[in-house]
Amino acid sequence: MRHRLGQAGRAVLGAGLIVLAILPLLPAVSNATLFTLTLMLTSVGVAVNWNLTGGFTGYVDFGHAVWFGIGAYTTAILMSLQSNGPQIGWAPIPAIGLGALVAGVLAAAIGRITMRLKGPYFSIAMLGTFVAMREIVRVSGGLTGGGVGLTLPPYLNRPLFYYIQLVLVAALVTFTWWLRRTRFGSALVAIREDEIGAEMRGINTTRFKVTVFSLAGLSTGLFGGLWAYQNTFVDPDIAFVEVRTIDAVMGTMLGGLGTVAGPVVGTVALYWLREVLWANLLEYHLIVQGGLLIVIVLFIPRGLVGLVDRRGTSVATLWERWLRRRPAPEEKRDKP
Amino acid sequence: MRRLANLAAAGVALLALSACAGVGEESTPTPEAQTSSEGGFAGTVRIGAALSETGKFAVEGRDSRQGYDTWVKWVNEEYGGIQIDGRRYAAEIIYYDDESDADTAANLVQKLIDEDGVDFLLGPYSSGLTTGASAISEANNVIMVEGNGTSDTMFERGFRNLFLVATIASDYTKSGIEMLAGQGVRTAVIAYEDTSFPTSVANGAIRHLEDNGIAVLAVETYPKDIQDVSAIMTKFRDLDPDIFVGGGHYNDAVLFVNSAKELGFAPQGMLITVGPSNPKLIEELGEDVNGVLGPTQWESVMAYEGPYFGTASDYAGYYQSLWGEPPVYQAASATASALALHLAIEAAGSTDTDEVRQALYSLEADTFYGPLAFDDRGVNTAKPMGTVQVQDGRVRVVAPAAAAETAFTLSTSAASGGTATGFGVHQVAQALINGIALGGMYTILVLGFSIIWGVMGVINFAHGEFVMIGAYLAWLANDLWGVEPFLSAPVVFLLMLGLGYATQMTLVNRVIDRSHLVSLLVMFGVAIVLQNAMKLIFSADFRRTDTSLGGAWELTDHVTVPVTRFWILLVALAVTVGLSLFLMRTRLGKSIRAAAQNREAARILGVNVSGVYAITFAICIGLTGLAGALISPVLAISPFQGPPLTLKAFAITAMAGLGSVRGALGGAMVLGIVEAGLAVFIPQIGTNLAVVASFVILVAALVLRPQGIFGGLRPVDATAS
Amino acid sequence: MTALLEARGVVKRFGGLTAVDQVDLSVGTGEMVGLIGPNGSGKTTLFDCLSRVLDIDAGSIGFNGADITRYRPHHVARLGMSRTFQLIRVYPELTVSENLELSIQWERMGMRGLFSRTDAATLRKVDSLLEFLQLARLRDERAGTLSGGQRRLLEIGMALMSEPKLVLLDEATSGVNPTLVADIADRLLEVNRNDGVAFLLVEHNVQFVADLCERVVVLNHGAKLAEGTPQQIMRDPAVIEAYFGAKAEGAT
């Protein structure tokens, strides 16, 4: 397809990547800074995944953080396995890997049901899935440690985690960039543009959207597992947090919905903004953040990427036009 | 015009970004050193702490910090510095604000170790934050002494650098239960919030009850932020136990005491984990809370004493002189943590981690906070937990005997009837009554949401926040002038009508013709703004209005009708009928229905559609505020009570049909009865499941019957193809 | 010879309204069939049933030797049925070329095809179709910016991209410049003769149907009223009564 991150964009991303890669080698950069950046990279990764379903496919998921929690919990359960006392926990890499897989498989199963719904119904059904899953984890005490949660063997190597996340996020962004250029990626956009038309033109919409949904779930599960390992403990209220979904939505909206670079740019900007707001506004910062969301949605629906890329044909403009459309039910109601 | 708006928005964003660039790395709060080294010291012992200055633990964080600073002040100015090898060192604590967030706390501890090079750490506030932070200190081999994170899990990880001066969570109820056992108590029931700290407390309580020969008749768990415990209390009432043990957070204490009264559940003693030691509870509940027992880490009236700070009350006096307020136990725990570290450093004669750790393990000292001696987990097992009881509107220490202020009294109020066990008709009847009462509340809560969606196609994601504002208005009237919420409700309706009109004119008008996502996100932004604005104005404390229409009517021995809810149900039914008549019979109502069915056709037929929308939105927000006022005596009022209500409104509306008044009533009743039934008939986790029920019903209803059960103003077109 | 499309006793109800009532309909290979009827007679609903956009309440639908009564639309598309819509469905934010590129036979390309960019053969086909539909100069315009007539043509192009055996055309001429209508008729005939593609047309433009089709089916109130050659139909008194009404002469 014709959309790509123009030359300048790619140069900026490349330069940014190099800076991020050599950052840990600088003496001025402490582990604490790396930790902050690692958390930011986690948010970027989750936002990129969210954008796969929310931005490309048009299915706005208000419960995406559920896959983060599933990945985190699977990893934690496997790593803290005990048999009559002694730890027989798994090594981190297979545990995190299986965590991602479990998240992906569950996403496929749940997506098959919830993706039959559209618009706000899908959004809220996913929010419900999220809340329900948190309670299921909470009441399954034997496996999950219930409300008390689970603790993992602490292993803290900030530069290592930082590099792992950096490589993962870079790979993920490259993957979405590539995916958007394949026919599969175009089919996702076709589903967003007109699902019935896409289905009638031979696109197995269920399979395509559930595939991308479970891919996003798998990838977010991976970030969840990594987070659990770094955080050294999980409980239902820190593994399943609404804020992770909200950050993904806000970051993507701020950067530009349905664009490859949008979630990256937006999430980084969001972190930056937050630091500024925190430092200067303290208790007002959430009020300002809520106001900012309103302003973004109403006045810069194309996001930061859209502001830079003013060409009318870019995918960055899709969102804006999409917003202008009437809600779907009314379009369809003039028949039979 | 649009271009201008775009440019302006872009300008704002760019300005903000450039501000970022300017502030750059310094944008995190700068450390504030608390030191008073005026020479004479051989050096400084650097200690770090992440504490919550903002966020949900802001108050406790401030108390903890004042506790730490009390020690700094005392050690540098009164005591003359920490003595190491005959030389005196100044103490310095470096603080960062962890924003009440676990990730941030962990991050800041890392920063304190790496960048500030602190020798030791003091704990943050709460178990959740300490769990993450202690893993960092453990991995970096830095000692952390703390007094405000007491969950058992932290001390089961084999950490060698974490020390707790306070009593561990599982022993919170020990002294209270021992005392109750001595009074001949034989049976108990337990309810607790299923999160880390309350679970630790409850597991400990079960153990202590069994050790003392008290039979545990039932254990119930409930989810965080619960608003209604009536099902649990119904079950407990039927079991007729001698005592009730329960709790999670402050709000739960309010709910338990209220609900027990509402349902006529009157055990001889109620032991509630968090709340009773806080004088605010008495302010909030008045004489209803008399007799309630609760654990406390420390009270200034306790008979503890040591060579440092003197007695508990000496410490309280010193603290008062510094901060102008008496110390709460969080502050005392913080001071004691710092003091324990201080004593260990002196005993070790070094700041070497291994030597200080050894000194901590072998430390035995008497202090104003109680005796200190750590076991091999790093837990201070020498200090027993205190127990307080609310007596005549005052908090009095009643256990342990060594620290007690006064004797405690068991309630002699006659409990209702004998024990009724098993599955009986009365349980079905009670579940139905609870369900219908709950359904009445849901009806009045959902009407405004449903009609706005049905008529305007706008999903009001800030619905729960408008309920919350209505509740606060009723609370203000109740608190300032003692006005009955049922009487202030009409005034709240009118005020909220105005707020609704203003919101419609400024924001909602802009999103009506846009996709659902836009209205969802804009209203979500409104919700965030309202929540935090209300929190700034009213604080995050839980409130409740008083009504004279309280208590319970006893139908039979084991079946009661909660009076307040009954009246809410009546008002809900009246409003439903009135609204139906309004929509069906009046000209305006007919215009509203026409605009909902087909906006263009209505416009052609001469209906002023935008006017109709403004009136609809205003009326619906008015109704929503009215709902808030009505439920204010039943559900705890807080800035963050909204989101679960919005979700329930969504579930009921989607199930029932958009904008259907009859549907709202039917859906609300179905959900209320299902929730009450689950909570009453599923043992232990019933209340947790009730939370999930609305979503299961929602998804099932949408997938199986996308057009809704009761029909409505506009079709629910939920499925994709 | 078995028919390419064979619908028997198709019933579709919306609540109390029976929109399609016991309709039998068949289209042979390479045949051009017209479907006409007054407004609200259920033509588009029948199309939605045949192309499996709507589930039917009774009856059966066979296509290309398979019973497709329970198939999903993309299965039907794979078997070689494509269609256009009365309310045009193109992907408005994608370019004209992209719209066509995405209207291929998805099942045939395999995983490798799915996860690569559009191949050269498809692009050649897109270009030749654009040439054929006289849309070549709009190749890189967004479909949403096209005029109604241009979008109709694009939609017809999208229906032809997947090398179908049968194309259902729903009001292919409405909103199209009258000078273009004859053009469209020529092109449809060309495709029909050269590639043996069968067409089922829903039309208001009766002349268009009469010119193209050898057989016409008339629907009224959801039920089949008549069937036959255009000449037979125009002479059928029941049809004149129901469809042409008093203005029979004027309408033709």
Tens of pLDDT along A13-22?
Answer: 778 888 888 8
The radius of gyration of chain A from alpha carbons, rounded to an integer in Å, stands at 20
Tens of pLDDT along B660-678?
Answer: 888 888 889 988 998 888 8
Whole-number pLDDT of residue C135: 87
Chains touching A (at least 3 CB pairs under 8 A) are B, C
User: How far is B367 from B37, CA to CA, in rounded Å?
Assistant: 25
Q: β-pairing, B120-122 with B43-51?
A: parallel
- Which residues, 6+ apart, have CB-to-CB distance to B116 below 8 Å? B31, B46, B48, B94
User: How far is A135 from B133, CA to CA, in rounded Å?
Assistant: 26
Instruction: Please identify, in words, the CATH class of the domain defined by B425-539+564-704.
Output: mainly alpha
Chains touching C (at least 3 CB pairs under 8 A) are A
Tens of pLDDT along A110-121?
Answer: 999 888 887 778
Distances in Å between the Cα of C175 and the Cα atoms of A114, A197, C153, C179 are: 38, 20, 11, 12
Whole-number pLDDT of residue B445: 92
Residue A32 belongs to some domain of the structure: yes
- Which residues, 6+ apart, have CB-to-CB distance to A273 below 8 Å? A289, A292, B16, B17, B20
Which of A194, A312, A317 lies nearest to residue C91, judging by beta carbons? A194
Beta-bridged to residue B427, according to DSSP, are: none
Whole-number pLDDT of residue B199: 87
Chain B residues 213-252 within an 8 A CB cutoff of chain A: 221, 223-224
Residue C251 belongs to some domain of the structure: no
Q: Does B139 touch chain A (CB under 8 A)?
A: yes
User: How far is B630 from B549, CA to CA, in rounded Å?
Assistant: 11
Instruction: Please identify, in words, the CATH class of the domain defined by B171-296+386-403.
Output: alpha beta
Residue type, B550: G
Q: Does C123 touch chain A (CB under 8 A)?
A: no
Q: What fold does the segment set B28-167+303-372 form as a domain?
A: Rossmann fold (3.40.50)
pLDDT band at residue B64 using 50, 70 and 90 as cut-offs: very high
pLDDT band at residue A233 using 50, 70 and 90 as cut-offs: confident
Please give the distance of CA C245 from its chain centroid, rounded to a whole number.
26
Which of B16, B196, B511 lies nearest to residue A148, judging by beta carbons? B196
DSSP B326: P
Whole-number pLDDT of residue B12: 43
Whole-number pLDDT of residue A153: 79
Residue type, A239: A
- Give the orientation angle of helix B686-704 with respect to helix A119-139, to 10 degrees: 150
Q: Give the three-state DSSP class for B267.
A: coil
Average pLDDT, chain A: 82
Residue C141 belongs to some domain of the structure: yes
Whole-number pLDDT of residue B583: 87
Among B196, B221, B252, B450, most A C-beta atoms within 10 A, so best to mutate, is B196
pLDDT band at residue B603 using 50, 70 and 90 as cut-offs: confident
Nearest to C158 by CA among C200, C66, C95: C95
Helices assigned H by DSSP within B264-379: 279-285, 312-323, 329-348, 353-361
Q: Is the dihedral of CA A232, A233, A234, A239 positive or negative?
A: negative
Contacts of B719 in chain A (CB under 8 A): 116-118
Sorted by where each begins, the domain ranges of chain B are 28-167+303-372, 171-296+386-403, 425-539+564-704
The angle subtended at Cα B332 by Cα B326 and Cα B335, nearest 5°, is 120
Token match 């109502």: residue?
B589
Residue C32 belongs to some domain of the structure: yes
pLDDT band at residue B118 using 50, 70 and 90 as cut-offs: very high
Does the structure show a pLDDT above 50 at C213? yes
DSSP string, A133-185: HHHHHHH-HHHH-GGG-EE------HHHHHHHHHHHHHHHHHHHHHHHHSHHH
Are the C-beta atoms of A56 and A189 separated by less than 8 Å? Answer: yes
User: How far is A161 from A151, CA to CA, in rounded Å?
Assistant: 18
Does the structure show a pLDDT above 50 at A168? yes
Q: Locate the chain A residue with the closest alpha carbon to B528.
A: A290
Nearest to B613 by CA among B527, B513, B470, B714: B513
Contacts of A120 in chain B (CB under 8 A): 459, 516-517, 520
Mean pLDDT on B208-224:
89
How many structural domains is chain C composed of? Answer: 1
Structure tokens at A335: 């028949």
Q: What CATH number is given to the structural domain containing C202?
A: 3.40.50.300
Contact A1 C98 (CB under 8 A): yes
Q: Give the three-state DSSP class for B408.
A: coil
First to last CA, chain A: 36
Tens of pLDDT along C108-160?
Answer: 777 888 888 888 888 999 998 898 888 889 888 888 888 888 888 899 999 99
Whole-number pLDDT of residue A160: 87
Does the structure show a pLDDT above 70 at B8? no
Structure tokens at C135: 């849309």
Structure tokens at B356: 């200080």
- Give the orientation angle of helix A31-51 with respect to helix A158-181, to 10 degrees: 20
User: How far is B326 from B698, CA to CA, in rounded Å?
Assistant: 50
Does the structure show a pLDDT above 90 at A71? yes
Token match 């840990």: residue?
A24
Q: Which of A206-215, B521-530, B690-699 has the lowest mean pLDDT?
A: B690-699
Chain A residues 165-184 within an 8 A CB cutoff of chain B: none
Of B21 and B690, the structure prediction assigns the larger pLDDT to: B690
Among A23, A124, A334, most B C-beta atoms within 10 A, so best to mutate, is A124
For chain C, helix, strand, coil in percent to 5 are: 45, 25, 35
Q: Which of A250-259, A286-295, B527-536, B595-604 has the lowest mean pLDDT?
A: B595-604
Does the structure show a pLDDT above 80 at B501? yes
Q: Which of A170-184, B537-551, C62-76 has the lowest mean pLDDT?
A: B537-551
Beta-bridged to residue B146, according to DSSP, are: B164
Q: Give the three-state DSSP class for C5.
A: strand
Contacts of C107 in chain A (CB under 8 A): 202, 204
Nearest to B91 by CA among B73, B108, B109: B73
User: How far is C5 from C217, CA to CA, in rounded Å?
Assistant: 14
Are the C-beta atoms of B504 and B620 separated by less than 8 Å? Answer: no
pLDDT band at residue A309 using 50, 70 and 90 as cut-offs: low
Q: What percent of chain A has pLDDT over 90?
A: 32
Angstroms from B174 CA to nearest CA on chain A? 20
pLDDT band at residue A228 using 50, 70 and 90 as cut-offs: very high
Does the structure show a pLDDT above 50 at A330? no
Q: What is the domain extent for residue A83?
A: 9-326
Nearest to B520 by CA among A239, A318, A54, A44: A54
Mean pLDDT on A259-288:
81
Are the C-beta atoms of B285 and B546 separated by less than 8 Å? Answer: no
- Which residues, 6+ apart, have CB-to-CB distance to B405 below 8 Å? B299, B301, B302, B396, B397, B398
Tens of pLDDT along C26-41?
Answer: 999 989 999 988 877 8
Q: What is the domain extent for residue C235?
A: 5-246
Among B3, B18, B20, B26, most A C-beta atoms within 10 A, so best to mutate, is B20
First to last CA, chain C: 33
Mean pLDDT on A279-289:
74
Q: Does B520 touch chain A (CB under 8 A)?
A: yes
How many structural domains is chain A composed of? Answer: 1
pLDDT band at residue A331 using 50, 70 and 90 as cut-offs: very low
Contact B521 A136 (CB under 8 A): no
Average pLDDT, chain C: 85
Residue type, A2: R
Of B403 and C226, the structure prediction assigns the larger pLDDT to: C226
Distances in Å between the Cα of B198 and the Cα atoms of A189, A222, B172, B248 are: 48, 30, 10, 5
Angstroms from A207 CA to nearest CA on chain B? 13
- Which residues, 6+ apart, have CB-to-CB distance to B259 below 8 Å? B228, B229, B230, B232, B233, B265
Whole-number pLDDT of residue C65: 87
Whole-number pLDDT of residue B662: 83
Tens of pLDDT along B250-294?
Answer: 778 888 888 888 777 888 889 998 888 777 788 777 778 888 888
Tens of pLDDT along B217-251?
Answer: 989 988 877 777 888 888 888 888 889 998 777 77
Q: What percent of chain B has pLDDT over 70?
A: 90
- Collect contacts of A286-292 with beta carbons under 8 A, ≥24 apart: A286/B528, A286/B531, A286/B532, A287/B528, A287/B529, A287/B532, A287/B533, A287/B536, A289/A250, A289/B528, A290/B525, A290/B526, A290/B527, A290/B528, A290/B529, A290/B532, A291/B525, A291/B529, A292/B525
Whole-number pLDDT of residue B718: 46
Whole-number pLDDT of residue B32: 42
- State the pTM of this model: 0.83
- Which residues, 6+ apart, have CB-to-CB distance to B599 below 8 Å? B609
User: How far is B196 from B129, CA to CA, in rounded Å?
Assistant: 12
Whole-number pLDDT of residue A7: 61
Mean pLDDT on B350-361:
93
Tens of pLDDT along B376-417?
Answer: 999 999 988 888 888 888 888 887 777 777 777 776 544 444
The radius of gyration of chain C from alpha carbons, rounded to an integer in Å, stands at 18
Token match 């955080």: residue?
A231
Q: Does A31 touch chain B (CB under 8 A)?
A: yes
Please give the distance of CA B104 from its chain centroid, rounded to a whole number.
21
b vs e for C68-92, b when ≥16 Cβ sit within 10 Å of the residue's Cβ?
A: bbebbbbbbbbbbbbbbbbebbbbb
The reply to whether B425-539+564-704 shares the fold of B28-167+303-372 is no
SS (H, E, C) C195-248: HCCEEEEECCCHHHHHHHCCEEEEEECCEEEEEECHHHHHHCHHHHHHHHHHHH
The predicted complex's ipTM stands at 0.86
Q: Is the dihedral of CA B17, B23, B25, B28 positive or negative?
A: negative
Tens of pLDDT along B149-178?
Answer: 998 888 988 899 999 999 999 999 988 898
Tens of pLDDT along B553-562?
Answer: 777 777 888 8
